[in-house]
Structures are given as C-alpha cells and as structure tokens.
Amino acid sequence: MNMDIVRIARNVNFAQLRDESFWGSAYKNIINAWIIDPCKILYNEGNFQYEHGIAVLSLELLFFEPHGKLLNPDLTRHGELFINGLVGFFNYLKNNMIDNDCDDLRQSIWKQARCGLFHSLKLESDIMIDAQNVTYKVISTNNMFNGNWGRYLINPWKLLFELEKYIEKYVNDIMDNKNIELGNYFRRGFKNLIMKPLQNFERHINKQI
C-alpha cells in the first residue's frame, strides 16, 4: 500500500512527514484542523451561547496533554503532561490574561474541567463558563459567589484566539532554532506522538498485502 495517500490532516500526509523539517508546520496544521478550525465554526455559529462554550472548551482541552509531551517527552503521567502543557501556555500569557496563576488553578482545570467534561460530561464545582464577557481575561477569579463554588471563570472564546497565537509562536520558536532544548524536545515528542503510530500502521498494512 502506498502510505503517501494516508492523511493526518487536510494538508498533512505521510510523505511530507518523512521530511523532519516539515514537522513544525505539520504540527500547526494538525492542531488547526483538529481543534482550532472546529472551534471557530462553533464560535461563528453560536457566538456566546453557553452550550457552544462547553463544546469549544472541550475541544481546547484536547490540546494540553499531548502538548505537554512535546514540551517534555520524559513525562508519562496524564495529569502531569496536561499541567505541563498548561504551564507552557500560561507562561505565554504572562498573567495579563489570567488571574492568579497557581497550582490550585492548574489542578482545578485538570480535575474539574478536563476530567469533569471527558469522564462525566460536566464541569465540576470550581469552574464556570464566562458566557457574558464578565472580564477581558481568558481565566479570571469569580467574585460573584462566596466560598469554593465557581471560583474560576473561563472564557473559551478568548482562550481560542490566545491559544491560536500561542501555537503560532511555539512553532516559530521551534523552526527558528533559537531554543535548542525546546526544538529537541519537540522532535522527540513528535516522534512518539505522530511518527511511531504511523510507522506501526505502515508495518501492519504491509503485512496484510
């Protein structure tokens, strides 16, 4: 079987991925095709409807765990990978779009948003969707309630466009080779996440022929 007809995304096929210099562009194309573009469709169709906010946030949360693997391929546990990807993104935001970046917030997003939505189809008590643009920030402290309930507001629509800018910067940093460690980690992680499954698939298909 000619593996060159196998596509990972609309603009990424197996033949292109044999060229390691294409991996940065391929990663951006994959994230855009699988996460960013579908989020934009929901954004354009539903604008600030709460239900679309849940759907957009769910897609966005898919990004952080595999991205954490690209930032540090030596990590293996799901939670630490997710939080590592989240930390990379939060460092990019530099607190101008987020209130009180701390371990409690990161753990809440992992346990209450990511695990809550993926395992139980619900946001747990710490996290609420900001569907009214209460603040200009991606994540803000919720001062409308007392106690521990609904402590954080997440605006998935603002998160979408900040995430898109972050991915652009991350890929540019890799391709510019300004941060050698970042680039080396990316290539190691990309081999594990993308290339090894494709190569295993190719070997399996060739056995069937």
Determine the Cα–Cα distance for residues 22 and 175; give it in Å rounded to an integer: 9
Determine the Cα–Cα distance for residues 124 and 51; give it in Å rounded to an integer: 15
Tokens read off for 160: 């979408």
Q: How confident is the model at residue 147 (pLDDT cuts 50, 70, 90)?
A: low
Give tens-digit pLDDT for 89-124: 999 987 667 777 788 889 989 998 899 889 988 877
Q: How confident is the model at residue 173 (pLDDT cuts 50, 70, 90)?
A: very high
CA-wise closest residue to 26 among 68, 62, 59, 70: 70
Return mean pLDDT, the chain: 86
Backbone angles phi, psi at 7, to 5 degrees: -110, 140
Q: Say yes or no to pLDDT of 37 above 60.
A: yes
Specify the higher pLDDT residue, 3 or 9. Answer: 9
Q: Say yes or no to pLDDT of 1 above 60.
A: no
DSSP-derived letter for residue 112 is I
Q: How many CA within 13 A on the CB side of residue 12?
A: 22
Helix (H, G, I), strand (E, B) or coil at 2: coil
Q: Which pLDDT belongs to residue 208?
A: 65
Q: Say yes or no to pLDDT of 194 above 80.
A: yes
Q: Which pLDDT belongs to residue 183?
A: 94
The proportion of the chain whose per-residue pLDDT surpasses 70, expressed as a percent, equals 88
CA-wise closest residue to 185 among 14, 66, 36, 30: 66
Q: Say yes or no to pLDDT of 135 above 90.
A: no
Residue 169 makes CB contacts below 8 A (sequence gap 6+) with 92
DSSP-derived letter for residue 187 is H
Determine the Cα–Cα distance for residues 209 and 206; give it in Å rounded to an integer: 5
Sign of the dihedral defined by the CA atoms of residues 91, 92, 94, 96, in that order: negative
Determine the Cα–Cα distance for residues 58 and 119; give it in Å rounded to an integer: 11
- The residue type found at 31 is I
